[in-house]
Structure 1
Amino acid sequence: MIIQKESVVPEETGWRIWWQLSRPHTLTAAFVPVLLGTALAIKSVPIHISLFVAMLVASLLIQTATNMFNEYFDYARGLDNENSVGIGGAIVRNGVKPKTVLGLGFLLFGISLILGIYISMSSSWWIAVVGLISMAVGYFYTGGPKPIAYTPFGELMSGFFMGVVIIQISYFIQTGNISKISILVSIPVSILIGSIMLANNIRDLDGDQENGRKTLAIIIGREKAIGLLASMFILSYSWIIFLIFFTETSFWLLITFISIPKALKAVKGFIGKTEPIQMMPAMKATAQTNTIFGFLMAIGLFISYFS
């Protein structure tokens, strides 16, 4: 089946080109962990707003730069065309020069590096080391001779670095330490961030397979990948119950269960679908699940501290 360009992937104009290039639906995966790490710190120390803002902006810029590297390298490898579903499309549909996209990605990395220096000077230079590793993972996710995104480890790497690592950094720069609870709270968020990548790979399974990728969805097959996605959602919500009963966290974290309908919509949206455009609503619902879950978790923490 050939998807017509005008019915699925219309060209953008003006500022919308750059907005789409940033892939805004992915940016909450950078915002939510910073918010949660900071929310956890509120119980222990007064929050340094400037560090919070610097960390937030740096995380968003690194995520945006990673998306731009993704756009550039997928184009350079011939994996994207004007009818591809789910991409920013600045190069293949809107005529932005590939070198412009690549250069903009490095520019955003440079700004993030400056912010990282400020954060490190205000906390610890170990933050600079972890930040540079995270930036390297962002680049090599789709760059380099063996991109991470083309392997079965994409979900694990994205979940770990954007979930566990960002939450710990956000917590550490406020408190000066890492706690057991900050690690435990990061687990369900990491799983949900990984689920976004899994959903993306389920949607792109056929095209990725044709291009020689070995993603987790390809290795285990579409049906098992959908089952795995459902299991990841179940584990995330089950982890909340674990936190409530076996740690010092409050019953207010149950507020995250309000996001369950979105998770159900995501799983149901993949079942029986084979065309990428048919699975876009499910992909969107997966990202929304992470966003709503993370915001509600932060709200639950805030309420528990001040009630």
Structure 2
Amino acid sequence: MSTAAADISKTRAWLMAARPQTLPAGTAPVIVGVGLAVHDGVFTLLPAAAALIGALLIQIATNFANDYFDAMKGTDEPDREGFTRVTAGGLIAPQQVKAAMVGTYTLALVVGLYLVAVGGVPILVVGLSSILAGLLYTGGPYPYGYYGLGDLFVFVYFGMIAVTGTYYVQAVATLDVGLFPIWIPPGTVPTDAVLASLAAAGLSTAILVVNNIRDIESDREAGKRTLAVILGYRWSRVEYVVLVALAYVVPVALWLLAAFSPFVLLPLLSLPLAISVTRTVTTERSGEALNPALERTGKLMAVHALLFAVGLSVPTVI
């Protein structure tokens, strides 16, 4: 094999380890938080950019952690139906994946120093708990992702906390509270931000649900009791439908109950994609069908978030 070919192979392997199809789970909530900040007149560029970079780093580091720990625990097999895992597949040495995990989490901590200076103790708690939760998802003596708790982690951290945290660091930066506030200043986490976060929470978790439905058989054999393994195919599919539906209920609720502009309904334009991918998830079991469905769920989340952010921002911008 030529050096060029080897380099391309290694680059591709690292890209596989980062799992770009899951990255909307890190970026989309930040986009929604920025859109709401624009709507409320508290948009601040540097905190928003730092929140985006930090979210991406934590997402990638968590993907490295899952790849490494699943392989070390023997959960991943070379013939699994999902996307190839680089550690179990022998594409990258385990210690290299572990080093990448540590290095990426460290970069997230560096970015987090700025956010902690702006947001204080609340962001310090959120940032450290996010990293700890990412590590313990498949690592440690009690990997909670193996016991049906992964969905809750994603819903909370890659949905509610990601959106409200993004909004918070921008809102607090506009106040005269100085560096490192000890508590949450009034008005920096409004009810609307919590409600808006539920859309991102639903779609983030839906990405995980597709992944886990696809892996029900192999996870069951490996002793990994994801929520999909516990619920089985029928109720896991119901969970997916409810989570996707939640993403469309939220904009309507903001319009009807919180007096937002009709522009907030823009995410409904993505309904055809949502219906199409939901049809696949509710009828298929094979990796051949569900791997593309996982990618399409990620695309759905990205499109929904962009439309949501635009819909939130337009009344303030025009």
TM-score of the alignment, normalized to the shorter chain, above 0.5: yes
Per the TM alignment, residue 102 of structure 1 is displaced from its structure 2 partner at its CA by: 0.9
SS in 1 for 2:9: coil
Tell which deviates more after alignment, 166-175 or 213-222.
Answer: 213-222
CA deviation digits over 1:27-63, x for unaligned, max 9?
A: 1111111121122112344533222221111110110
Structure 1: unaligned runs, 5 residues or longer: 1-11
Which residue of the partner structure matches residue 136 of structure 1? Answer: 132
Matched, 1:255 2:269: no
Supply the distance in 2 between the matched residues of 1:179 and 1:295 (Cα, whole angstroms).
Answer: 21
Amino acid at match of 2:43: I
Matched, 1:267 2:263: no
Amino acid at match of 1:25: Q
Aligned ranges 1:91-170 → 2 under 5 Å: 91-93=87-89, 95-170=91-166
Supply the distance in 1 between the matched residues of 2:285 and 2:159 (Cα, whole angstroms).
Answer: 29
Corresponding residue to 1:198 among 203, 209, 212: 209
State the identity %: 28
Supply the distance in 1 between the matched residues of 2:251 and 2:122 (Cα, whole angstroms).
Answer: 30
Amino acid at match of 1:147: P
Q: Structure 2 vs 1, CA of residues 210 and 94 (structure 1 numbering), >3 Å: closer, same or farther?
A: closer
Which residue of the partner structure matches residue 47 of structure 2? Answer: 51
How many residue pairs were aligned?
Answer: 296
- Give TM-score, length-normalised by structure 2: 0.88
Supply the distance in 2 between the matched residues of 1:120 and 1:271 (Cα, whole angstroms).
Answer: 42
Matched, 1:291 2:302: yes
Which residue of the partner structure matches residue 27 of structure 1? Answer: 23
Q: Structure 2 vs 1, CA of residues 283 and 245 (structure 1 numbering), >3 Å: closer, same or farther?
A: same
Per the TM alignment, residue 286 of structure 1 is displaced from its structure 2 partner at its CA by: 1.9
Supply the distance in 1 between the matched residues of 2:31 and 2:279 (Cα, whole angstroms).
Answer: 29
Matched, 1:189 2:170: no
Amino acid at match of 1:26: T
Which residue of the partner structure matches residue 220 of structure 1? Answer: 231
CA deviation digits over 1:158-191, x for unaligned, max 9?
A: 0111111011111111112111111111111111
Per the TM alignment, residue 235 of structure 1 is displaced from its structure 2 partner at its CA by: 2.7
Tell which deviates more after alignment, 216-225 or 85-94.
Answer: 85-94
Per the TM alignment, residue 263 of structure 1 is displaced from its structure 2 partner at its CA by: 1.6
Which residue of the partner structure matches residue 77 of structure 1? Answer: 73
Note the aligned Cα RMSD (angstroms): 1.7
Supply the distance in 2 between the matched residues of 1:96 and 1:154 (Cα, whole angstroms).
Answer: 25
Amino acid at match of 1:192: L
Amino acid at match of 1:35: I
Supply the distance in 1 between the matched residues of 2:111 and 2:15 (Cα, whole angstroms).
Answer: 22
Higher RCO structure, 1 or 2 (CA under 8 Å, sep 6+): 2
Supply the distance in 2 between the matched residues of 1:91 and 1:304 (Cα, whole angstroms).
Answer: 48
Amino acid at match of 2:254: L
Per the TM alignment, residue 226 of structure 1 is displaced from its structure 2 partner at its CA by: 1.2
Matched, 1:244 2:225: no
SS in 2 for 1:14: helix
Amino acid at match of 1:194: T
Q: Structure 2 vs 1, CA of residues 272 and 301 (structure 1 numbering), >3 Å: closer, same or farther?
A: closer
Per the TM alignment, residue 101 of structure 1 is displaced from its structure 2 partner at its CA by: 0.4
Q: Structure 2 vs 1, CA of residues 273 and 42 (structure 1 numbering), >3 Å: closer, same or farther?
A: closer
The runs of 4+ residues in structure 1 deviating greater than 3 Å are: 43-47
Which residue of the partner structure matches residue 9 of structure 1? Answer: none
Contact 1:71 1:87 in 2 (8 A): no
Corresponding residue to 2:10 among 7, 14, 19: 14
Structure 2: unaligned runs, 5 residues or longer: 1-7, 173-187
Q: Structure 2 vs 1, CA of residues 153 and 92 (structure 1 numbering), >3 Å: closer, same or farther?
A: closer
Supply the distance in 1 between the matched residues of 2:115 and 2:30 (Cα, whole angstroms).
Answer: 13
Supply the distance in 1 between the matched residues of 2:130 and 2:85 (Cα, whole angstroms).
Answer: 25
Which residue of the partner structure matches residue 7 of structure 1? Answer: none
Supply the distance in 2 between the matched residues of 1:254 and 1:19 (Cα, whole angstroms).
Answer: 35
